[in-house]
Amino acid sequence: MYPFAKYLLILCDGGGSNSSRHYIFKEDLKKLAMTIGIDIRIAHYPPYCSKWNPIEHKMFPYVSKAIRGANITSIKMLGKHIKRTKTKTGLKVDVVISRKTYNSGRKVQDGFKKDMPIEFDEYLPKWNYVAKHHH
């Protein structure tokens, strides 16, 4: 959608598989940056601060309203209900259900931690960094 973008900014919660502490997440980010050919800037919300994520306030309440009282019997059914989410001001939600299987217990490649090709910011480096698209 944005062919002239110089970088991609991703706001991430602090937990789960995209945790700021996980090296496998950083390794996958580096691979993605190299694949798409632009830098990826990551800004993690500190622990217990994801409530400041704009998606939490602008979308999730309406998704909850759209599925309230629904008899969810499958992922497909859940997607159908979530897709009904809309607001008077024009919010619409599209749903894509991924069938991909994610392997658990993956390990970072040897040497990644030592030679980590991630540029950490001077300010709050634990939560703010860039995966460069080149070596």
State residue 23's pLDDT score.
Answer: 87
State residue 59's pLDDT score.
Answer: 84
State residue 110's pLDDT score.
Answer: 87
Do 83 and 62 touch, CB atoms closer than 8 A?
no
State residue 78's pLDDT score.
Answer: 94
State residue 112's pLDDT score.
Answer: 82
What is the SS3 assignment for 119? Answer: strand
> 107-112 long-range CB contacts below 8 Å, 24 or more apart?
107/24, 108/23, 108/24, 108/27, 109/27, 112/23, 112/26, 112/27
State residue 103's pLDDT score.
Answer: 81
State residue 72's pLDDT score.
Answer: 92
Q: What is the pLDDT along the chain (135 residues), one digit of tens a residue?
A: 788 999 999 988 877 767 777 888 899 999 999 999 999 999 988 877 877 777 777 788 899 999 999 999 999 999 999 999 988 998 889 999 998 887 888 888 888 887 778 999 999 998 999 999 886
- Residues found in the chain: 135
Question: Cα separation of 108 and 86, whole Å?
Answer: 40
DSSP state of 111: T
